[in-house]
Structure 1
Amino acid sequence: MQGAQPHWSSRLPFYYGWVVIGIAFVTMAFAVTARTAFSLLLPPLITEFGWDRALVAGAFSFGFLVSAITSPIFGRVMDRHGPRIVIGSGICLMSSGLILASAIEKPWQLYATLGVLVSAGANLTTYTAHSLFLPNWFVRRRGLAISIAFSGAGAGAIVLLPWLQTIIGRDGWRTSCWVMGLLVLLVVGPLTLLLRRAPEDIGLVADGASGSADAAQSRGKSNVVDPAWAAVDWTLARAMRTSRFWWIALGFFCALFAWYCIQVHQTQYLIEIGFKPLVAAWSLGIISVVAIPGQIGLGALSDRIGREWVWMAACCGFAVCYVALIALQHAPSYPLLYLMVGSQGFFGYAATSVMGPIVVEIFEGPHYGSIFGAITVPLVGGGAAGPWVAGVVHDATGSYRLAFLLAIACCAVSAAAIWIAAPREVRLVPGRISTRGAAQESGV
């Protein structure tokens, strides 16, 4: 009948991009928390077994190292088969690692379960995996959409981390591993069946609005700044022959070194300098909660001002966090604790919202997954090196101070590296397109 409204099902594809973001949000809530919980497990593991700090933290680092080696493989799998295979595999690895961890008695079992299985599983279900395909779904609001998905980590942390700490205190760390393993398997597992690699797989285009790219072109507002670069069919081999690839790799390595250097050791450090275990656990959770407005706000801002500015803000956030941590050792106080939490969470965690966009805006194309997978090797390598180096430094000197100073230096190097990689010189973010279009129309 003429004038009749279309059936609701005909509009379902329009919203599918946001369905994908919602699934990513839930996945991040559980998977990131399962990995972050290693910080809560560190004190009881050291207490029960009497192992060196570097040995225990090394399990986390070893798992990251294994993840780094296998990342390029899963990048290619993502390009060919999509996120259901990759993320589904990660869920199986993570849940089995957590459940088997409840039987740990020897160091090799710690490394095999909480190290390899959980870290590798997290690599396939959290920031890295989602950065392989979420950028395909959004162009105009890429930073905002990805930041909303990644803010699920904060939502999960504020609920799950204190709850897990309560289980550890009441029933033991082994029970907490069982509980978290079952949650990952039963809650996240079924949702992965709805994921798709790109909107084209179900007849859509990015942002869920057909013709958006053509419309931008017709207005003379293409986001391409360097047509010659953008015209290249970027394979992994071609990308690795460019300096931009290696500057991104360096920037990501240093940022993840700073990130996980403190994330793994934070609970133990805060307890040692005088804070109660539950306060330390809440601090870890609140960091992820503070990250929610930071990721969303700064992710959206990156769509306006550029990815480099937000990346630099994230690096500055981690640097301020380490300054506060060093000061806390000499003068433990809640104002300094709040500064550490706010700078690390609100600014530092915002780095995740621009990781994928930085790479895709330089090397956009059908081989993006393989390229990002290769860049994941140094990215995850930095996450592996940070906790291990901090543990070794503490065992050798009795203090984290030198490790924290090294992390501050890494923040400065990371910020500089992404500016040199310069995604802005290949493709403009939407806010810059509008500015350039207005300038062209006014004859400037």
Structure 2
Amino acid sequence: MSNNNNISGLDARLKKIPIFYGWIVVAIVFITMGIGVNVRTSFSLLYPSILQEFGWDRATTAAAFTIGFISAGAFSPIIGRIMDFSAPRYLLSASALMVSAGLVLSIYATEPWHIYLTLGVMMIGTGVVMTYVGHSMFLPNWFEQKRGLAIGLAFSGVGIGSVFLMPILQSTISESGWRSACLLMAVLLVVVVVPLNLILQRKSPDELGLKPDGEEQDVLTGQTVRVIADAIVDTEWTQTDWTLKKAMKTGSFWWLCLTCSSGLYAWYAVQIHQTKYLIETGISPLEASFALGFVGFAGILGQIYFGHLSDRIGREWVWTLASSGFALCYLMLLMMEDNSHSALLYAMVTVQGGLGYALAAIFGSMPADLFQGRRYGEILGVVSLIALMGGGVGPYVTGYLYDLNGNYRAAFWLAFAICLVSIFSVWMTAPRKRRLVAGQAEKRAASIVTDQEGV
């Protein structure tokens, strides 16, 4: 509740922690995603071993990821609706337990549908709560002026986690098999993610009687006052009490869906097939796993810097830079078919992570800029459903085109074109026409002051 007198005993103690609690929320998300998202990404490392053991074709095996993403998309509107009325700490803890169960059950798999159910529906599908989608449903509540920076910092945990976790998992797979790696990930989720979220995670500053970073209490009147420049461009839009039905009647909603779905197509089409492709170009499995980890490492600085930059210059420009990073990545992968030199390899993973992964910070910020309100979780859930369909289709189509042509050339050119679609779509979504980011608002305010002084 927002009334300080009605705060629970634990929440009252949490409020007394001598730093702004929003940054504690960021730290919890950082750790949760460092483990949770990389558990999902680990499918790229499990993929070659599963192919080798069972002898299934690539499309059949990669379909586990596609099924997982489709189920994650189907779950997203439900999760969003629950998130509007419930505490995320319960959903996050339940998600971690369900993913752990899927990982443990996967070790008994003997048929494709076993993998689809355990590593697909249970690991990737129910794990959506621990990813960018689930956290984007409540993390923006804690920040206004520094929303992009905060989300970029929180989501950079994926990069830190990948640097440490991916090589460990690859070594475990090489030494003990993919089943041992699944058990290791299950233990990490139960021991770290569940207690951390169940005890400390909170949905919004209101729960602790606090305010987001863009507001502070006037010590004399006790009234909330704005400390940032006015960001409103379309007053009627920002004053609308957005519901899913109202949002779906706007062009911005559908352009946002296309922006996010095409962005996730580009992201996951390369992520799932990258390790296998690199090995086939002559790169060792261990170096390929380090390359996958380096993508996440490059994404650390990229997400933080570009998340902050999006608070200054706008979401559209940063999404354009990020999508351009994936486009460059695909061009470099095509070049690597005939030249697998390490310099080209690390240039490719640098632009993929350093630029491309900045999409995550905008994915969490841009929908809130447009449709923030009491039903935001439900709206983001449907946007995520459509976006995850793009992310799920990407690996399957890429595998299908490989099976059809015997190489990845057509698949990578298709993904390159989809990057261009994503860039066009974000400018049509145009969040700047509804609400400015802090830097744009300050620039506009300074311009108004200058004009007034000139008069």
TM range (shorter): over 0.9
SS in 2 for 1:241: coil
Q: What does the per-residue CA deviation read over 1:247-290, in whole Å, with 9 as the maximum and x for residues that have no partner? A: 00001110101100010011000001110000100000010001
Q: What does the per-residue CA deviation read over 1:118-155, in whole Å, with 9 as the maximum and x for residues that have no partner? A: 01132111110011111000011100001110000011
Paired residue for 1:150, among 149, 152, 155? 155
Q: 1:436 — aligned with what?
A: 444
Q: 2:208 — aligned with what?
A: 202
Paired residue for 1:378, among 369, 383, 386? 386
Does the CA contact (< 8 Å) of 2:100 and 2:123 recur in 1?
A: yes
1:231/1:58 Cα in 2 relative to 1: closer, same or farther (>3 Å)?
Answer: same
Q: Which runs of 5+ in 1 are unaligned?
A: 1-7
Does the CA contact (< 8 Å) of 1:222 and 1:433 recur in 2?
A: yes
Query: Percentage identity across aligned positions?
Result: 44
Q: Indicate yes or no: 2:279 matched with 1:274.
A: no
Does the CA contact (< 8 Å) of 2:238 and 2:434 recur in 1?
A: yes
Paired residue for 1:254, among 262, 266, 274? 262
Q: What does the per-residue CA deviation read over 1:58-80, in whole Å, with 9 as the maximum and x for residues that have no partner? A: 00100111111121010011110
Paired residue for 1:106, among 111, 129, 134? 111
Does the CA contact (< 8 Å) of 1:17 and 1:208 recur in 2?
A: no
Q: 1:181 — aligned with what?
A: 186
Q: Which runs of 5+ in 2 are unaligned?
A: 1-12
Alpha-carbon deviation of 1:199? 0.7
Q: 1:24 — aligned with what?
A: 29
Alpha-carbon deviation of 1:13? 7.2
Does the CA contact (< 8 Å) of 1:16 and 1:208 recur in 2?
A: no
Alpha-carbon deviation of 1:12? 2.3
Matched residue type, 1:130: H
Matched residue type, 2:159: G
Q: 2:121 — aligned with what?
A: 116
Does the CA contact (< 8 Å) of 1:15 and 1:208 recur in 2?
A: no
Matched residue type, 1:134: L
Paired residue for 1:130, among 135, 159, 164? 135
SS in 2 for 1:432: helix
1:24/1:10 Cα in 2 relative to 1: closer, same or farther (>3 Å)?
Answer: closer
Does the CA contact (< 8 Å) of 1:99 and 1:182 recur in 2?
A: no
Does the CA contact (< 8 Å) of 2:302 and 2:358 recur in 1?
A: yes
Q: Indicate yes or no: 2:363 matched with 1:355.
A: yes
Alpha-carbon deviation of 1:109? 0.6
Q: 2:6 — aligned with what?
A: none
Q: What does the per-residue CA deviation read over 1:154-186, in whole Å, with 9 as the maximum and x for residues that have no partner? A: 111010100110011111111111111111111
Q: Indicate yes or no: 2:102 matched with 1:97.
A: yes
Q: What does the per-residue CA deviation read over 1:85-115, in whole Å, with 9 as the maximum and x for residues that have no partner? A: 2212211121111111111111111111111
Q: Structure 2: how far apart are the matches of 1:348 and 1:379? A: 16
Does the CA contact (< 8 Å) of 1:89 and 1:124 recur in 2?
A: no
Q: Indicate yes or no: 2:347 matched with 1:346.
A: no
Q: Pairwise mapping of residues 34-433 of structure 1 onto structure 2 (< 5 A)?
A: 34-193=39-198, 194-207=200-213, 210-211=216-217, 215-216=225-226, 221-433=229-441
Q: 1:4 — aligned with what?
A: none
Does the CA contact (< 8 Å) of 1:258 and 1:410 recur in 2?
A: yes
Q: Structure 2: how far apart are the matches of 1:238 and 1:367? A: 11
Q: Structure 2: how far apart are the matches of 1:393 and 1:409? A: 15
Q: Structure 2: how far apart are the matches of 1:195 and 1:395? A: 45
Alpha-carbon deviation of 1:195? 1.2
Moved over 3 A (4+): 8-11, 211-217
Does the CA contact (< 8 Å) of 2:15 and 2:208 recur in 1?
A: no
Matched residue type, 1:229: W
Does the CA contact (< 8 Å) of 1:90 and 1:120 recur in 2?
A: no
Q: Structure 2: how far apart are the matches of 1:405 and 1:87? A: 37
SS in 1 for 2:226: helix
Q: Structure 2: how far apart are the matches of 1:437 and 1:63? A: 46
Does the CA contact (< 8 Å) of 1:252 and 1:379 recur in 2?
A: yes
**When the two structures are superposed, what TM-score results if normalisation uses the length of structure 2?**
0.93
Does the CA contact (< 8 Å) of 1:39 and 1:263 recur in 2?
A: yes
1:9/1:420 Cα in 2 relative to 1: closer, same or farther (>3 Å)?
Answer: closer
Deviates more, 1:22-31 or 1:121-130: 121-130
SS in 1 for 2:374: coil
SS in 1 for 2:451: coil
1:38/1:210 Cα in 2 relative to 1: closer, same or farther (>3 Å)?
Answer: same
Q: How many residues align?
A: 436
Q: Structure 1: how far apart are the matches of 2:333 and 2:324? A: 14
Q: Structure 2: how far apart are the matches of 1:83 and 1:231? A: 26
CA RMSD of superposed structures (Å): 1.7
Matched residue type, 2:432: R
